[in-house]
Amino acid sequence: MVYVLTRQTVQAERPTVLVTGAAGGVARYLLSELGSAYTLRLTDRRPFPGAVLGDLCDADFARRVCSGVDAVVHLAADADPDQPWQRLRDPNATALVNVLDGAAAAGVPRVVLASSLHAVGGHVDAGQAEIGEDVPPYPCCTYGALKVFAENVGRLYADLHRLRVVCLRLGGVRDRPLARSWLPGWLSGPDLVRLVTAALTADVEYGIYHGVSANSTRLWRNDRARAELGYQPLDDSAEYADQVPDDLPDGSSNHFGLRQRILHLT
């Protein structure tokens, strides 16, 4: 039998990836790069070109938008670590559960969850010189506690539904670090792409990984991301060390409490 490879069959072989929170700042770095390897389905509750508009707190919507995709990159959330529980619970807990439910119901094989270094930010204030991916969760704020919740619900779904769930504790994703305190936890756009691409293809059932660049200022270790995901970051915040201010212009350098310091990560 002779198979003829048509344009249609080539396109059909491209996996489809649902990106939630597509109108957000992190997605901005990802979409064009991911779009060259995957067929993307975008969604957000804010209008965005090409995105399916909807609120993931609506379980039916989450189920519909997950249907028929090969993977989900779940970014949608309130990304402000300064917000209280009342603001965070819907986008960061309800929507998260709905997406995992929707993915499980649709038989989606893999979900990549955007967690945050805030899930372990407490170790910063405890004076740890290096924080690995094996330390116990120690959130520094409600936002971080909800990221721990997300990681744990992810584990539950990985076990119960045979979903592959990859949790990425992202550092501060920007073109360049914003201040000196950002140097250890900075994650460049190109390294973010490397990390998410690795998470979409790695042979892991469940895992939690630190998403930082190859920063010379060591604090966050990401040995597990390198070993298990094959993540190879290339950028180093040290390149900007003499260009960044000592701290952010809002005066937060005066506060060395845990949450204030870790706020600089996002």
Give the interface with ligand NAD as residue ranges (CB under 6 A).
21, 23-27, 44-46, 55-57, 75-77, 79, 91, 95, 114, 116, 170, 172-173, 266
Shorter beta-carbon distance to ligand NAD: residue 104 or 266: 266
Closest approach of ligand NAD to the CB of residue 54, in Å:
7
Closest approach of ligand NAD to the CB of residue 167, in Å:
11
Closest approach of ligand NAD to the CB of residue 249, in Å:
18
Shorter beta-carbon distance to ligand NAD: residue 55 or 236: 55
- Measure the CA–CA gap between 52 and 35, rounded to whole angstroms: 16
Closest approach of ligand NAD to the CB of residue 116, in Å:
4
Angle, CA of 215, 216 and 222, to the nearest 5°: 50
CB-nearest residue to ligand NAD: 24
| Nearest residue to 226 (alpha-carbon basis) of 216, 213, 217 | 213
Closest approach of ligand NAD to the CB of residue 156, in Å:
19
Shorter beta-carbon distance to ligand NAD: residue 10 or 149: 149
Closest approach of ligand NAD to the CB of residue 146, in Å:
9
Shorter beta-carbon distance to ligand NAD: residue 47 or 251: 47
Residue 140 near residue 262, CB atoms below 8 Å? yes
Q: Which two tokens stand for residue 226?
A: 């390198």
Residue 144 near residue 83, CB atoms below 8 Å? no
- Measure the CA–CA gap between 155 and 83, rounded to whole angstroms: 25
Count Cα neighbours of 71 within 13 Å in the Cβ-side half-sphere. 24
Shorter beta-carbon distance to ligand NAD: residue 14 or 236: 236
Shorter beta-carbon distance to ligand NAD: residue 14 or 31: 31
- Measure the CA–CA gap between 179 and 25, rounded to whole angstroms: 18
Within its chain, how far is the Cα of 3 from the centroid? 40
